[in-house]
Chains A and B, each alone.
Chain A
Amino acid sequence: MRTALTASLTVILMGACGAADRQPKQSAIPGEAALLAATCTGCHLSGAKSTAIPALSDRSADDLRDALLAYQQDGETVMHRLMPGYTAAQIDALSAYFAQETPDDE
């Protein structure tokens, strides 16, 4: 859960009837990290068990940052083609964002 998610918002969420299964991934006003992370969720299913595309929600920010930075080196995978398009600051923001996300139980 994002630290920016305030207690008052949490109360609203918990009280909401029929709210989405997944925990909200951003504070009330989505910022840079939420916008960047939107791309990732097209492939990386929150809470995914063992698939060819791993979940991002169960790793530390340091782990994620190391992995994403490594994809900026030469390689054959999709991720090796994507990550050179991102700055170190963007990778930091993404790593922190997913490290704070509550994994799904879906």
Chain B
Amino acid sequence: MSKVFSTNRRAVITGLTATAALSLPALPLPALAKAAPKIVIIGGGFGGASAAMTLRRALPRAAVTLIEPNPTYHACPFSNLVISGERTLDQQAFTYDGLARAGVQMVYTKAQDIDASARLVTVSGGGTIAYDRLIVAPGIDLRYDSVAGYDAAAAQIMPHGWKAGAQTQLLADRLAAMEDGGTVVMSVPRPPYRCPPGPYERASLVAHYLKTRKPKSKLILLDAQDRFSKQPLFEQAWAELYPSLIERIPGAESGRVIRVDATAGTVHTDFDSVKADLANIIPEQQAGEIAQRGGLTDATGWCPIDPVTFASTQAEDIYVIGDATIAAPMPKSAFSAHLQGEICALQILRSLPGEAPLSTTLSNTCYSYIEPDQAVSVSGVYRPDGPRFAPIAGAGGTSPLKADIGLRQSEANQARAWFHAITTDVFG
């Protein structure tokens, strides 16, 4: 048995072109504990990369394969600072060299399908990769159909900027090219979506850009939500820093965008339409496509999981982590994805020799910039409670509403330290 698994890396490679991987038998638990367990991860974002590194650090004989189509990862956290011209997109870029150095087998291709009964992942071109355990970390897919007239082509004119990379740069370029006196229109979708405070951080930083570079311009926030994350802190900051620059129309006042005309540059709600010089349309979202193809999503379009282990409730030996999961009140954040990747990896390591899962306490903290040198934060502490997470009473909350500039600057420094720490932890 150990001989079979001593060639497992080669099996990964041959699996891409042939079906050698098919001949690998699924191992019973005691054998898995001794042999090199074969753990495959789909998706190299904060969740998938964190799971891969955790597995390699804790169990160096584990054969860990990460399937990811893009050799360069662009981080979403801090990407709003790229849009407002405070950072470059290059500063958001990370390679998987650190993971490869740690012994993670990188496979740069797209996972197309999952066969849970045969424990096989099919990749672009038809090759297969076998697994003992599969972690699916596909992030989000944008639901273009949630806004009539919006699609991939329209997103070239009205960028979403909700997956970091070319879209982030496009939005930055369009903002830089806009004439002073222009109207920026941003739409916020109905929840759940990736990064709950993200649209409001973006509004803050775009407002800062307009205030300092194009002061005759304005920002209209068409918001499907009535209440939002860190609302009192954002509204206080907008009133103090950007008075009369941001106009927010909440869902109850028909703020939800239902249609756009990219060519005409108009954005439509139920009762109104707005002419935009630059429109940033953030559509509704669902779990990444592979989660749907693999049968891991439910009717909501997201993935139900066991909150103790992150095991899919819909498939054996498959785990789902990160934005694709149903983990509320844990937010869809990089922090949560990173933590879920670690916890999932550790629970898998417990399961290999047959140890029972161990319920634990999880936390999240999200920083948001209200201007380039000031930030606010929200934290939560959670524990598994039946099929979902429950917040722990008496813990969590936001930065104080009454605070001097020193505290806001200190949280901006912590945000930078956090970004450095989390990206170093997973990408090296």
Which residues of A line the B interface, CB within 8 A? 12-13, 16-22, 24-26, 28-32, 34-36, 38-39, 41-45, 48, 51-53, 76, 78, 81-86, 90, 106
Chain A residue nearest to B57 in the complex (CB): A20
Interface pair A82/B363, CB less than 8 Å apart: yes
Complex Cα distance, B317 from A61, in Å, reads: 37
Interface pair A30/B379, CB less than 8 Å apart: no
Interface pair B58/A25, CB less than 8 Å apart: yes
A53: contacting residue among B59, B403, B407, B418, CB under 8 A: B418
Contact of B262 with A by CB under 8 A: no
Interface pair B360/A36, CB less than 8 Å apart: yes
* Count of interface residues, chain B, beta-carbon cutoff 8 Å: 54
Complex Cα distance, B347 from A102, in Å, reads: 22
Which 8 residue pairs are nearest across A and B when measured between Cβ atoms? A85-B381, A85-B395, A16-B60, A45-B421, A38-B342, A35-B360, A52-B413, A30-B346
Interface pair B53/A42, CB less than 8 Å apart: no
Q: Tell me, rounded to whole Å, the shortest Cβ–Cβ distance linking A17 to chain B.
A: 8
Q: With A20-B103, A29-B349, A82-B379 in contact, is A43–B422 under 8 Å at CB?
A: yes
Complex Cα distance, B342 from A86, in Å, reads: 19
Contact of B365 with A by CB under 8 A: yes
Which residues of chain A are near B416, meaning CB under 8 Å?
52
Interface pair B343/A29, CB less than 8 Å apart: no
Which residues of B line the A interface, CB within 8 A? 53-54, 56-61, 101-103, 335, 338-339, 342-343, 346-347, 349-350, 353, 355, 358, 360-363, 365, 377, 379, 381, 392, 394-400, 403, 407, 410-411, 413-414, 416-418, 420-422, 424-425, 428
Q: Tell me, rounded to whole Å, the shortest Cβ–Cβ distance linking A43 to chain B.
A: 5
Q: A42-B365, A42-B421, A85-B394 are in contact. List 11 more A-B contacts (CB 8 A).
A: A16-B103, A17-B103, A19-B102, A20-B103, A25-B57, A26-B58, A35-B360, A39-B362, A81-B397, A85-B361, A85-B381
Interface pair A20/B60, CB less than 8 Å apart: yes
Interface pair A43/B346, CB less than 8 Å apart: no
Complex Cα distance, B414 from A35, in Å, reads: 23
A18: contacting residue among B103, B365, B418, B422, CB under 8 A: B103
Interface pair A82/B421, CB less than 8 Å apart: no
Complex Cα distance, B416 from A45, in Å, reads: 12
Q: Tell me, rounded to whole Å, the shortest Cβ–Cβ distance linking B351 to chain A.
A: 10
Complex Cα distance, B361 from A85, in Å, reads: 8
Complex Cα distance, B53 from A42, in Å, reads: 13
List 20 interface pairs A-B (beta carbons < 8 Å), by A numbering: A19-B102, A20-B57, A21-B428, A28-B349, A29-B349, A30-B349, A34-B346, A35-B346, A35-B347, A39-B339, A42-B422, A42-B425, A43-B365, A43-B414, A53-B414, A76-B400, A85-B381, A85-B396, A86-B361, A106-B428
B102: contacting residue among A21, A25, A48, A78, CB under 8 A: A21
